Amino acid sequence: MRAVRPGYRERPSGGVPLFLWFYMRVSAIGMIGLVIGHLYIMHILNSTDTIDFAFVAERFRGPLWRTYDLVILIFALSHGLVGLRGIFDDYIHHRGWRVAAEVAMWVVGVVFLAFGALVLFTFQPPAAGR
Amino acid sequence: MYRGHPGMLAWVLHRITGLAVLLFLFAHIVETSMILVSPEAYNKAIELYRQPWFKPLEFLLVAAVLFHAGNGLMVMIIDFIPTPSRTYRRMFWIGAGVYAVLLVPVAYFMLGGLVGLR
């Protein structure tokens, strides 16, 4: 019986497309527990009504949550950009524009990744009790 | 009511939720970076999330991530286990059921306060 997967492309046969196909799955598995944990902590156990600077400063006092957030940042942003690349592939038919869009996307992506990482690495929480 | 193959619907929703979450991620990076500026700047930035009208959007964000995760898992299962269309239909509706049931407590915790349930 033929496997029917409407809409989904078949697994690429090799090269960069196969690597990206594989990377989407690796990054998905890598972040799924972390992201669900993040949602649970931020939106169920806490809420946007109680999260404020003091909450974030306390959370970033040690390396644990900074590392946690850095891993999510790297996985989510790269996974999202590879996904966006697939959308460009499907809808931008002119090769020149597609390459331009992809290059612009990676530049913006690297800037945001560097910026997010900078925040996680350099943030100094105010001294406790202030 | 959508009458096509459920796989097409899942595919479209996977795209839309993925794109929406990516757009939020960009905003989330900028908004969190305000902690480097000052406590006041950060608290000002997240004031948006506290508006009552924003709560349904926040719920939709969580719902989008959960759909994307669940459907992504299903895609991976189908990658490794060849699945006939008939079986996929059944998987789709089971997945949709699990998803709907999961959203009930999420909605309770995230939106309950809005309607006086919590």
ipTM, interface predicted TM-score of the complex: 0.93
pLDDT-derived band at A128, boundaries 50, 70, 90:
low
B12-16, B62-66, B81-85, B102-106: lowest mean pLDDT where?
A: B81-85
Closest CA to B18 of A93, A84, A53: A84
Residue showing tokens 């009208």: B53
Contact across the interface for A53 and B26, Cβ inside 8 Å? no
Judge: domain B6-115, CATH 3.90.740.10: no
pLDDT at B63 over 90: yes
Residues 6+ apart with CB under 8 A from A4: B7, B83, B84, B85, B88
B32 touches chain A (CB under 8 A): yes
**pLDDT band per the 50, 70, 90 thresholds, residue B22:** very high
Interface of B with A in 80-109 (CB under 8 A): 82-85, 88, 106, 109
What pLDDT was estimated at residue A111? 98
Q: State how far the Cα of B18 lies from the Cα of A24, in Å rounded to an integer.
A: 12
Q: Is B118 on the interface with A (CB under 8 A)?
A: no
Tell me if residue A11 falls in helix, strand or coil: coil
Answer whether residue B117 shows pLDDT above 70. Answer: yes
Q: Do B24 and A34 contact (CB within 8 A), yes or no?
A: no
Q: How far apart are CA B111 and CA B105, in angstroms?
A: 10
What distance in Å separates the CA atoms of residue B30 and residue B1, rounded to the nearest whole number?
A: 38
Please tell me the predicted confidence (pLDDT) of residue A2. 45
Interior CA angle at B27 toward B21 and B33, to 5°? 130
Q: What are the C-alpha distances in Å from A68 to residues A46, A99, B14?
A: 17, 33, 25
The verdict on domain A16-122 having CATH code 1.20.1300.10 is: yes
**Number of neighbouring beta carbons within 10 Å of residue B112:** 12
Q: What is the mean pLDDT of chain A?
A: 92
pLDDT in tens, A12-71: 988 999 999 999 999 999 999 999 999 999 999 999 999 999 999 999 999 999 999 999
A125: alpha, beta or left, given left = phi > 0 and alpha = psi -120 to 50? beta
Residue pairs between chains A and B whose CB atoms are closer than 8 Å: 112
Q: In whole angstroms, give the CA distance from residue A14 to residue A40.
A: 38
Instruction: Answer whether B8 touches A (CB < 8 Å).
Output: yes
The residue of chain A nearest to residue B23, with distances taken between CA atoms, is A80
